[in-house]
Amino acid sequence: MKKIDVIVVGAGTSGLISALSLLNSGYRVLLLEANENVGGLSKVVKKGRFEFDYSLNNIYVNNNINDAYKLSNVFKECGILEKIDFTSLPDSFKVITKYKNFTLHNGIDNFINDVEKYVPGSSESVRIFFDLALECKEAMDYVYNNLDKIDYDYVKKEYNNFVRVANYSNSQVLDIIEMPIEAQEILNVFWMYFGSTETEISFVEYAMFIYNFIENRGQIPTHNGYDITLTLANDFLERGGEIKLNSRVVKLIIDDDKVNGVKLENGETYYSDNIIINSSLDNVYGKLMNPDEVPRDALKNLNQRKVGGRPFVVHLGLNRSAKELGIKYYNYFLYSSLDSDVSYAHMKELSSFSVIATCKNVVNEGASPLGTSVLTLSTLFFDDCFAFDIDHDNYNDEINKLASEMIDKFEKYTGIRIRGYIEEIDIVSPIDIISMNDCLYGASYGYRLVGHDNLLPRLLNRNNENYIDGLYVCNGFEGDIFGYNSSCISGLMAANDMKKDSAGDYYD
């Protein structure tokens, strides 16, 4: 059988981006998908007259379109940026605990003024934070753009403060700049987007995100996240790419530490010297290879990684509009404690969890039928509590109980009554996520950002983590941060790595 230029395994968003990028560069690409639909976890589920967007909570930060590896540039390189409508998020969001609530506004000066109002005397330290964050953002832009030719002397000279804080956690830097604890707690409210606490996450990582989000706000697809998936898939097919659905890969063919092809569950075999897999490292090395084929360094790296948060999501179709219900904000952060370490500890058990509530109707009234609204309640769990506490017999009872507790928390913390207006409900547990795309433990957030296993060292070590010649891995589990945004970026980076390694071999 004639070899294919590139095989991409997994038609999630990351795999679709890899496939389309390579196709646009002149490669012949075969995309294999185990399920009957493309998109992986990015999907829309219809219940009654409502559509529930499974990628709703993903935020697409509005960065400079020409910055390498920024999400806008990823879509631009794939040729789909102008085909998707985006809507900017509102200027403000709400943070609520049992005893306090804060309304915070986007824009650096606005945010600093808000924090100063709640924590008098904090403004100087918060401004220092944003100054440092800007320098870290500019330094990381340089790193992304020069991964193969970083001038470390230049980095030390131009981004001295970045070099000084690069190995520190977020909480360590905030303590060094003498930010009051109350202000730190407000600044750290976004920790659930990362699934790592203030004492674990790298300052560089967190500061970059906060700077981009507060300064530029954020953007989401106007209609739903699946628009991105469909646009990628349609463009791939229209430009001559091939997608084979219901084609589960069960084995990598490896000869002399070099990939040679894949075997499918139905016995079919496809051959290629270049394979990109849109899945977790655990699946690649634990399921698709024989134990004696797995490089020792790959196992060592994998064993050092910690699995991230396991999302539990409740989608509610409400038969009243957001305005009628009194829902004013796109995001409500409902925390059991503003100390992220305390909240994290609580979220190792099926109780006392924190919740992010999202109502897309606040930014797009047409997100649901006229006179209705869709509210999404999300939380994370950080241990195998679903495996320990839930079994086949009590599964439905337990997930319905969890959903009810999340609804109660939303009503109690916000004072907004929704229970009597629920027309449709859709619950997504970590068990569902496993069944949808074989995601390790249902942890769609990827590997946790803990200690020295964070963005910068992962980026700098990318070239050392291609353990099998011709094999590349992309997806939120690939290593580069977490979740949807980095999954998209990872797809482009995997394609570019492959193009670089095989330059000139496949072009007409």
Q: State the Cα–Cα distance between residues 229 and 221, nearest whole angstrom.
A: 11
Is the separation of the CB atoms in 491 and 273 below 8 Å?
A: no
Lookup: tokens for 344:
């994290």
User: Which pLDDT value is given to residue 62?
Assistant: 60
Q: State the Cα–Cα distance between residues 187 and 338, nearest whole angstrom.
A: 10
Q: What is the DSSP letter of 169?
A: B
User: Which pLDDT value is given to residue 504?
Assistant: 52
468 closest CA partner among 294, 261, 292: 294
Give 102's strand partners.
95
| Per-10-residue mean pLDDT, the chain, length 508 | 89 94 96 92 91 76 56 86 87 92 95 97 98 94 86 95 94 97 95 87 90 85 87 96 96 93 96 93 90 88 82 96 97 93 86 88 93 95 75 86 95 97 95 79 77 77 81 71 73 91 59
Name every residue whose Cβ is closer than 8 Å to that of residue 450 and which is 6 or more positions away in sequence.
196, 200, 306
User: Which pLDDT value is given to residue 395?
Assistant: 85
User: Which pLDDT value is given to residue 58?
Assistant: 64
Q: Can you list the pairs that 143-150 forms with residues at least 24 positions away whose Cβ atoms lie under 8 Å?
A: 143/456, 143/459, 143/460, 144/67, 144/68, 144/69, 144/459, 145/67, 145/68, 147/459, 147/460, 147/462, 147/463, 148/463, 148/500, 150/460
Name every residue whose Cβ is closer than 8 Å to that of residue 130 and which is 6 or more positions away in sequence.
108, 112, 211, 214
Lookup: tokens for 27:
């490669």
pTM of the predicted model, to two decimals? 0.91
User: Which pLDDT value is given to residue 358?
Assistant: 95
Residue type at 110 in one-letter notation: N
Is the separation of the CB atoms in 31 and 244 below 8 Å?
A: yes
Residue type at 285 in one-letter notation: Y
Angle at 145 between CA 142 and CA 147, to 5 degrees: 95
